[in-house]
Amino acid sequence: MMQSEPSSWQLPPAMADTATRVDDAYNFIFWFSVVFAAAVIAITLLFVLKYRRRSGVKSESTARHTKLETKLEILWIVVPTLFIVVLFHKGFSSYIHNATAAEGATEIRVHAKKWSWDFEYPGGARSNELHLEVNKPYKLILSSDDVIHSFYIPEFRLKRDAVPGQYSFVAFTPTVPGEAHVLCAEYCGTNHSAMIADVKIETPEQHQEFLASSGKKPKVCGTPPVECTDEKWGESLFQKNACFTCHGNAGDGMTGGAKSLGPKLAGIFGKPQSLADGTSANADENYIRESILKPSAKIVAGYTNVQMPPFASLTDDQLEAIIAYIKSLK
């Protein structure tokens, strides 16, 4: 996988057709602004220096310039109006272009929830990373399970809110193989900033391999890749689903040096857990499975119900792998 060069010092690498059109408009307004701001500042400083208060020198009355005044007012209303017509046109034409999906675009359903992304491909494969094939047109259908999120890939210059109760769309064609990120751009609660998914733009062969393996136990998994055991696969699923966001790395119950939002997972397997309602439950396979699929069913004492989203999209194979991984954590 190659990482493409940044478009400029102020823009991330352009990795989709949509990015090029935005960058053209961006660079235009950027240089327009630089020239304009420099002119305003330079003229102001020039006047300030040239007309510094000196003893015996009076200011000139503005009243002397009434004819010139009218002309100038018209000038600096008309000229900026012409500029903004151009700016509006540049912004709008690229926008409409980017809002239109290409014929025969592959549709991917994007489910946003606190605080992860879930991608559903044609044919039913699902993943928490966005796998795309280079040079193939896509249309993404966004929805949200809870609050408003915003789907944002800086490398594609694309952003669209995922609003609960409705669908929204983004369309693009990735042009460069490599990696990018889906970020959440609309504040959505405690772990908003950790709501990140990897984007992998793959060659057709790599992409076929992904589609074939997704949902089923892959041949290799982990970093560095090794032959897949349930534990290893569970570990990579734990990473891909960003479970560490709330449960800490390797489920150690710590994030950034503080107690994590979700309960500690390491070392709990087979031990009784005291629950917030005063009862207790044994942390066996069913307990873990239930906690993944119906997170609010049992709340561990000392934690609040922060509305962990149900990970209903996980297959039985995947759930077993995650259970095996949690079992292995000490």
- Cβ proximity to other proteins, 158 vs 243, nearer residue: 158
CB atoms within 10 A of CB 100: 10
Closest approach of other proteins to the CB of residue 84, in Å: 4
Q: Nearest approach, Cβ of 192 to other proteins (angstroms)?
A: 7
**Is the CB of 23 or the CB of 320 nearer to other proteins?**
23
| Least distance from other proteins to the Cβ atom of residue 198, Å | 11
CA distances from 179 to 131, 151, 330 (A): 10, 16, 33
* Closest CB to other proteins among residues 201, 211: 201
Shortest Cβ distance from residue 111 to other proteins (Å)? 14
Taking the least distance from each CB to other proteins, the nearer of 123 and 165 is 165
29: CB partners within 8 A, 6+ apart: 87, 90
Shortest Cβ distance from residue 317 to other proteins (Å)? Answer: 29
Cβ atoms 109, 120 nearer than 8 A = yes
Distance between CA atoms of residues 152 and 127, nearest Å: 17
Q: Which residues contact 79 (CB under 8 A, 6 or more apart)?
A: none
Cα dist. 67→44, 58, 70, 72, 77 in Å? Answer: 23, 22, 6, 9, 16
Using the minimum distance from each CB to other proteins, give the nearer residue, 83 or 301.
Answer: 83
Residue 201, strand partner residues: 132, 178
